[in-house]
A = this chain, B = another copy of it.
Amino acid sequence: MAEYRISEVGERTGFTPSTLRYYEEIGLIPGPRRSPSGYRTYDDAHVELLTFVARAKRLGLSLDEINGLATAWRTGHCSTTREQLQQVLAAKLHQIRRRLEELSAFGEQIDAFYRDLAGRPAPDWCGPSCGCVPEESEELVPLPAEALSGARGRTN
């Protein structure tokens, strides 16, 4: 099995060595084996786990939330924990589904806002210095359709 030193794992997963040591300290990842001289020695399972963590992080999950998932990930092969695991995963999937819906609705809202711009009344905080006298002749430049494809439409 392949073995990696901390900076190599860092390169493969996008974390710095400091961050990896920090994650180990807080129990997010299991401490790897050590070389005779004390160096951390990671394997492919660590890289896989950390890739999973990196993805969850990019999606805005907190380390605490990720910890629940990562524990499932780490212990999932154990038949003894399979029932708890199912609950964690089902709950998380449900949450992800709701996030997807809200993200989709948010894209809609921004799109609608943009299309609606010209018709909006100037709010309270828009003083005369703002210089926003509506110019009737000005055309609202349409948003590139590409920007919203995939974020628009069905929310489930």
Chain A positions near chain B (C-beta within 8 angstroms): 1, 30, 32-33, 43, 45-46, 52, 55-56, 58-60, 69, 73-80, 82-83, 85-86, 89-94, 96-97, 99-107, 109-111, 113-114, 117, 120-126, 130-135, 138, 140-141, 143-144, 146-151, 155-156
Contact A74–B150 (Cβ < 8 Å): no
Q: A135 to B102: give the CA distance in the assembly, Å.
A: 41
Contact A111–B132 (Cβ < 8 Å): no
Contact B96–A126 (Cβ < 8 Å): no
The residues of B that contact A135 with a CB separation of less than 8 Å are 79
* CB contact between A93 and one of B92, B124, B151 (< 8 Å): that residue: B151
The residues of B that contact A131 with a CB separation of less than 8 Å are 78, 80
